[in-house]
């Protein structure tokens, strides 16, 4: 994990969280929304190239995320949204509840963007973790899980399976991959994820020792929450 980007992410999360109470629905302007989504991706790319110096919210991503979220508040959740808009939100899924809630409200429509984001290597710090956590929430909430199509559930299952075997996962993402796998309620994936309770497995996966306790805790919570019959 890039240290500077991690510092930036922490600041962005704080900014996004404080903005939740200030959200105000705004008229949906398709052109402005799409332009904003494109700008989000450009600024994320700048951050990754080191063009924008992380610190505070110098990139302006917090404000852009708020604009997108407020714009979507006035659109029926079942209405089709430009894929670039959903991709931009999915890339920021790890920045706080403001963005996650907007994606969860889209349900089925947000699944492809979240899967693309969860597969992104070298994206914004917390991007893959945030995408996997949001997909897990979709499987955890009955009103969303029941609305998902068979193809979407199958795609989430494949993502969870691939993530558990992905050697490029950051140590902070391993717990989220295991949690998502358990949330699919697939006994085989559950058994693989349950191995993350063992310190030797975490060492094998090169999880930073400082994340061992946290990873074991979240996997234990997932196993308890998604108990099999």
Please give the Cα distance from 94 to 90 (Å, whole number). Answer: 8
pLDDT over 60 at 58, yes or no: no
pLDDT at residue 167, rounded to an integer = 87
Q: Among 41-45, 64-68, 205-209, whose mean pLDDT is lowest?
A: 41-45
pLDDT category of residue 177 using cuts at 50, 70 and 90: very high
Q: Considering the chain, what percentage of its residues have pLDDT values greater than 70?
A: 87
Query: Comparing 20-34, 105-119, 170-184, which segment has the lowest mean pLDDT?
Result: 20-34
Mean pLDDT of 124-132: 89
Q: Find the mean pLDDT for residues 111-115.
A: 97
With 80 as the cut, is the pLDDT of residue 65 above it? Answer: yes
pLDDT value at residue 76:
85
Q: pTM for the complete prediction? A: 0.85
Q: Which pLDDT value is given to residue 12?
A: 47
What pLDDT, on a 0 to 100 scale, did the predictor assign at position 52? Answer: 57
Across all residues in the chain, what is the average pLDDT?
A: 86
């Amino acid at each position: 994990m890039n240290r500077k980007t991690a510092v930036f992410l922490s600041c962005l999360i704080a900014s996004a969280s404080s903005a939740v109470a200030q959200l105000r629905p705004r008229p949906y302007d398709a052109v402005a929304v799409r332009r904003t989504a494109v700008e989000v991706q450009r600024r994320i790319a700048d951050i990754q190239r080191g063009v924008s110096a992380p610190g505070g919210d110098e990139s302006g991503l917090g404000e852009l995320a708020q604009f997108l979220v407020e714009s979507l508040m006035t659109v029926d959740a079942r209405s089709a949204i430009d894929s670039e808009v959903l991709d931009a939100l999915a890339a920021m899924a790890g920045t706080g509840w403001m963005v996650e809630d907007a994606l969860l409200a889209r349900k089925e429509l947000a699944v492809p963007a979240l899967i693309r984001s969860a597969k992104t290597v070298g994206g914004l710090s917390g991007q893959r973790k945030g995408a996997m956590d949001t997909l897990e929430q979709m499987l955890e909430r009955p009103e969303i899980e029941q609305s998902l199509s068979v193809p979407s559930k199958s795609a989430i299952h494949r993502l969870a399976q691939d993530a558990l075997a992905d050697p490029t996962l950051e140590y902070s993402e391993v717990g989220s991959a295991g949690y998502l796998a358990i949330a699919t309620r697939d006994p085989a994936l559950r058994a693989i994820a349950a191995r993350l309770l063992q310190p030797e497995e975490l060492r094998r996966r090169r999880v930073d020792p400082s994340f061992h306790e946290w990873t074991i805790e979240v996997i234990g919570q997932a196993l308890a929450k998604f108990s099999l019959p």
